[in-house]
Structures are given as C-alpha cells and as structure tokens.
Amino acid sequence: MNERDYEDDGSEYNDAQNISSSRQQVLSVLDSFIEQILQIRRTLLGVSISSLILAPLAIGLSVFLLRHPSFFVILEIENEFGLILSILLGSVIVISSLWLIAGIRQYRSVGSWNKKYKAYQQDKQELDRKIAAQFVLDRDENKS
C-alpha cells in the first residue's frame, strides 16, 4: 500500500466521524427541543389547573352578587353604577366560562400529549437497547 491508500482510508474515517458527529448534534438538538416542550407543558398544565379552580370561583361570586337582595337595591339607588356593575358581572361570568372551557380542553390535550411522550420514551429506550445490542454483536464479530 502506498501513502495515498492511507490518506483515503483516513478521509473515509474522518467523513464517517463527521457524519456521526452531525447526527449526534441533531439528536442533541431534538432532545433539547423536547425538554423545552416539557417545560412549556408544565406551564400549560399549571394554567389549566388554575383555570379549573379560579373560573368557577369567579362565576360563583358573580352569580352570588347578582342574586343577592342588596344588589337590586344598588341597582335602584345608583342607576348608572348599577348598570355598569351588571355589565361587568355578566362579562366576568362569560369570560370565566370561556376560560373554564379552555382550561378543560387544555388539561385534556396535555394529558394525551403526556401519554404519547411516555410511549415515545419507551420506544426510544427500546430502540437504543436494540442498537446497543447490535453494535456489541458487530464489534464481537469484527474481533473474530
């Protein structure tokens, strides 16, 4: 063999290392992306849980105020203030209802995403084990 053959072998080895390195970089970028998604999922879960707690409280308080006997006295005494207060309480009920519905939907979607992510992790671990087992077998065959 001459020097040229050794250089070709080295360049092929370098190419293989570069490809392997770029694949590792892609995988690490994907893993960091998935970690960011998990953080966002936790935040969305917190928001949906808060909507499940706070929206019913706001609706209940608004309904209580609207049905309270003193509320009608305020409406009769303070015409303009009573009208604005009625509109605000009605708005609170509508917005809180929408927030409650959005929170329920978000909670369900985060739950289904969580199941899919767990399945992805299991598949990934199984695939990693298969690749590792195959790589070990390939190494053992090359030594023989």
- Between the CA atoms of 20, 22, 27 and 31, what dihedral angle is there, to the nearest 10 degrees? 140
Q: Which domain holds residue 121?
A: 3-139
> Number of folded domains in the chain?
1
The whole-angstrom distance between residue 102's C-alpha and the CA centroid of its chain comes to 15
Q: For residue 144, is it within any domain?
A: no
pTM, to two decimals: 0.57
Contacts of 97 (CB under 8 A, 6+ apart): 55, 59
Q: Is residue 144 scored above 80 in pLDDT?
A: no
| 107 occurs within a structural domain | yes
Q: What is the pLDDT of residues 49-106, one digit of tens each?
A: 888 899 999 999 989 988 888 887 877 787 788 888 888 999 999 999 999 998 888 8
Q: What is the pLDDT of residues 34-46, one digit of tens each?
A: 788 878 888 888 8
Asked whether residue 57 is domain-assigned, the answer is: yes
> Is 64 domain-assigned?
yes
Percent of the chain residues topping a pLDDT of 90 = 15
| Whole-angstrom distance, CA of residue 41 vs CA of residue 35 | 10
- Three-class DSSP labels, 21-49: HHHHHHHHHHHHHHHHHHHHHHHHHHHHH
Residue 25 lies in a domain: yes
